């Protein structure tokens, strides 16, 4: 392991199994240290995706939530620390998955009770791949003034009292997380404070050992002395003894092994940690303390004298000019949370909406980060605006032109279709523009204009599974489902929809690939053999061609393509386009001053 510093002021982590408090404590520590970026890059919550709102100082931020370790690692390649808050049942599997990610360098496992056999596998893999495991059964670690893991060092008040918001000169390593907090406080009182502190965890087989971290500290120039707190049980401390004897450590080490009181008990006692159980004389606290003392470490006669030993060692280094005590700085004030702030008269209120597509807070509005003036100056069109607001990226010109063509071709289809008819009737009833528009839009669905998404979904599934047109159509027939995008009440095989032809001609000329459209045409060929009105309609043409646009542009992942179809983006095109026509019909009826519409009796079949 050895090497040197694990963390810095730019270190970012992935946090597994969302826990609000430890993440917020990390972010508050970031703010306290003056970090420019949050230390939590992303959250992994199996089965969930989206964003989680948290505070970074006074600013509320949205941290991405990913459903898998792989997705989070790919989305945040600079996040090289994995903080695992999974239960003991799943901690090993998720930790191994993290270690196998090329971007992850350090894994901290918080859970207690991880099976020892699993832990050994993690340790073996980490060492073979030059990675670091902290834990299991750990609170984590801290780089003073730079980065901390989860709940390390406790509350902000304790962190300030321990002066962990800025680096000191002492490297500290312990098995116990709780005792780490105690020693952070002690060290802050009698020295210039901690530079880095690690709690390796109290299990029998820790992912990294006391000596691993002491050897690391030896390679960090800013660390001038090392403080070690061990405990009875196991033989971890003896690797530190050997390192001292071999001269691998050239910095003063002040050490104490807790558990000397175990000899007062007549029978063997299991202390708090799984590993805190003496298995013989060599594993006793007394034997370890003696071995460390003989190897050259500064070992007091009791825990009560530990503080004095640290003080004397530090003061000696100062006298020798090896340490220039760090100048004290005043940390910034952390805003109080709502419940506390109500009592003290200070408030920070959470937002209620997350928006990622536009921002109107600056000098001018932006669409997906593109200023309004830039959109106008570049001569971008409606298709470009849709690409920014709907897809959050600037699509190639042929893509945005295709979007514009779809809008133009679908804007209206005469006064007799259901949407236009509803709008006309509503407008003639004297209703306002919005009411008339909405009455027409509400008719859009599976039977009127709402088949674009379904056409895309079914054509994509059939093509991707390699189904022949015959297999596809007949399987749909067996399910009792009409093929979306196929069939028209007016158009026939010998009287094709001109809109479909225009879209196909444009795509064949401009798209890199039209594999989905050609598949839809093959399906049409088969359906026309059954009936002359089972032609590819405009819904089917737009649905299949939009798949080609998404796949051929190279700007969307498979998951993003599935999401676009699933959410309803394609039907959104029809809704947007047809709104133009419905508004036109509303204005037309009002301009013509048409009276209230009443359906004629002769057009109704009255029957019993």
Known catalytic residues?
Answer: 273
263 vs 260: CA distance, rounded Å: 7
Look up residue 136 and give its DSSP letter.
S
If residue 295 lies in a helix (H) or strand (E), which one and from where to where? helix 285-295
CA distances from 593 to 289, 421, 425, 436 (A): 100, 16, 13, 15
Largest CA distance in the chain: 111
How many C-beta atoms lie closer than 10 Å to residue 390's C-beta? Answer: 18
429 exposure class (CB count in 10 Å sphere: 0-12, 13-18, 19+)? middle
Which residues, 6+ apart, have CB-to-CB distance to 43 below 8 Å?
Answer: 14, 15, 16, 18, 23, 52, 63, 64, 65, 66, 72
368 vs 3: CA distance, rounded Å: 43
Residue with structure tokens 């050897």?
A: 215
- In 3D space, the residue among 152, 162, 154, 147 whose CA is nearest the CA of residue 5 turns out to be 147
CB hemisphere CA count around 416 (13 angstroms): 2
Task: Locate 586 and state its tokens.
Answer: 């509303």
Which residues, 6+ apart, have CB-to-CB distance to 533 below 8 Å?
Answer: 487, 488, 489, 491, 492, 493
> Roughly how many angstroms between the first and final C-alpha of the chain, as a whole number?
89
66 vs 18: CA distance, rounded Å: 10
Residue 138 and residue 201 in contact, taking contact as beta carbons nearer than 8 Å: yes
Task: Locate 606 and state its tokens.
Answer: 């009255």
Find the length of the chain.
Answer: 608
- List Cβ<8 Å contacts ≥24 apart for 517-523: 517/541, 517/544, 517/545, 517/548, 519/459, 519/462, 519/463, 519/469, 519/544, 520/455, 520/459, 520/485, 520/544, 522/469, 523/459, 523/462, 523/469, 523/472, 523/473, 523/483, 523/486
300 vs 407: CA distance, rounded Å: 81
- In 3D space, the residue among 454, 505, 509, 507 whose CA is nearest the CA of residue 482 turns out to be 454
CA distances from 373 to 79, 355, 369 (A): 35, 21, 12
Residue 455 and residue 544 in contact, taking contact as beta carbons nearer than 8 Å: yes
Beta strands in 232-381 (DSSP E): 253-258, 358-359, 366-367, 370-371
416 vs 442: CA distance, rounded Å: 16
68 vs 81: CA distance, rounded Å: 15
Distance of CA 468 to the CA centre of its chain: 39
């Amino acid at each position: 392991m050895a090497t040197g510093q694990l963390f810095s002021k730019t270190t970012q982590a992935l946090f597994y199994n969302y826990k609000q408090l430890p993440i917020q404590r990390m972010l508050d520590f970031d703010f306290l240290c003056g970090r420019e970026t949050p230390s939590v890059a992303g959250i992994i919550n199996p089965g969930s995706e989206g964003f989680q709102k948290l505070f970074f100082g006074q600013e509320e931020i949205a941290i991405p939530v990913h459903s898998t370790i792989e997705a989070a690692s790919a989305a945040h390649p600079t996040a090289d620390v994995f903080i695992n808050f999974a239960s003991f049942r799943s901690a090993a599997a998720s930790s191994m998955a993290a270690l196998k990610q090329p971007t992850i360098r350090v894994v901290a496992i918080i859970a207690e009770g991880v099976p020892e056999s699993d832990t050994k596998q993690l340790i073996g893999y980490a060492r073979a791949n030059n990675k670091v495991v902290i834990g299991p059964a750990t609170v984590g670690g801290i780089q003073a003034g730079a980065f901390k893991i989860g709940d390390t060092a406790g509350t902000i008040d304790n962190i300030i009292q321990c002066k962990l918001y800025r680096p000191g000169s002492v490297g500290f390593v312990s098995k116990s997380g709780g005792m780490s907090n105690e020693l952070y406080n002690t060290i802050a009182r009698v020295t210039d404070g901690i530079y880095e502190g690690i709690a390796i965890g109290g299990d029998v087989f820790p992912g990294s050992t006391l000596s691993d971290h002491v050897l690391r500290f030896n390679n960090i120039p800013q660390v001038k002395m090392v403080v070690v707190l061990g405990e009875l049980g196991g033989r971890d401390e003896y690797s530190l003894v050997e390192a001292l004897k071999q001269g691998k450590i050239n910095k003063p080490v002040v050490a104490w092994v807790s558990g000397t009181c175990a000899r007062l008990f007549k029978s063997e006692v299991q202390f708090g940690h799984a590993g805190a159980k003496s298995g013989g004389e060599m594993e006793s606290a007394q034997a370890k303390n003696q071995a460390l003392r003989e190897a050259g470490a500064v070992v007091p006669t009791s825990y009560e004298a530990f503080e004095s030993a640290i003080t004397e060692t530090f003061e000696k280094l100062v006298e020798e000019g090896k340490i220039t005590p760090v100048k004290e700085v005043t940390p910034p004030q952390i805003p109080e949370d709502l419940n506390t702030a109500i009592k003290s008269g200070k408030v920070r209120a959470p937002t209620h909406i997350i928006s990622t597509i536009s921002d109107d807070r600056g000098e001018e509005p932006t669409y997906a980060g593109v200023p309004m003036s830039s959109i106008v100056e570049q001569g971008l069109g409606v298709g470009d605006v849709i690409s920014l607001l709907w897809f959050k990226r600037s699509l190639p010109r042929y893509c945005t032109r295709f979007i514009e063509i779809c809008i133009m071709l679908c804007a209206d289809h005469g006064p007799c279709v259901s949407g236009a008819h509803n709008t006309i009737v509503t407008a003639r009833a004297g209703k306002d523009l919005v009411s008339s528009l909405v009455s027409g839009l509400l008719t859009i669905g599976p039977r009127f204009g709402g088949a674009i998404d379904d056409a895309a979904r079914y054509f994509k599934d059939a093509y991707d599974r390699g189904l022949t047109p015959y297999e596809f159509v007949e399987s749909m027939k067996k399910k009792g489902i009409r093929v979306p995008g196929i069939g028209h009440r007016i158009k026939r095989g010998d009287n094709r929809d001109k809109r479909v032809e225009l879209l196909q001609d444009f795509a064949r000329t401009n798209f890199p690939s039209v594999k989905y459209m050609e598949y839809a045409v093959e399906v049409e060929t088969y359906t026309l053999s059954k009936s002359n009105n089972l032609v590819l309609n405009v819904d089917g043409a737009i649905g299949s061609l939009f798949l080609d646009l998404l796949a051929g542009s190279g700007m969307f992942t498979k998951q993003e393509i599935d999401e676009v179809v699933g959410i309803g983006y394609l039907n959104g095109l029809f809704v947007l386009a047809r709104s133009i026509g419905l508004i036109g019909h509303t204005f037309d009826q009002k301009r013509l001053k048409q009276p209230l519409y009443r359906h004629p009796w002769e057009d109704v079949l009255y029957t019993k």
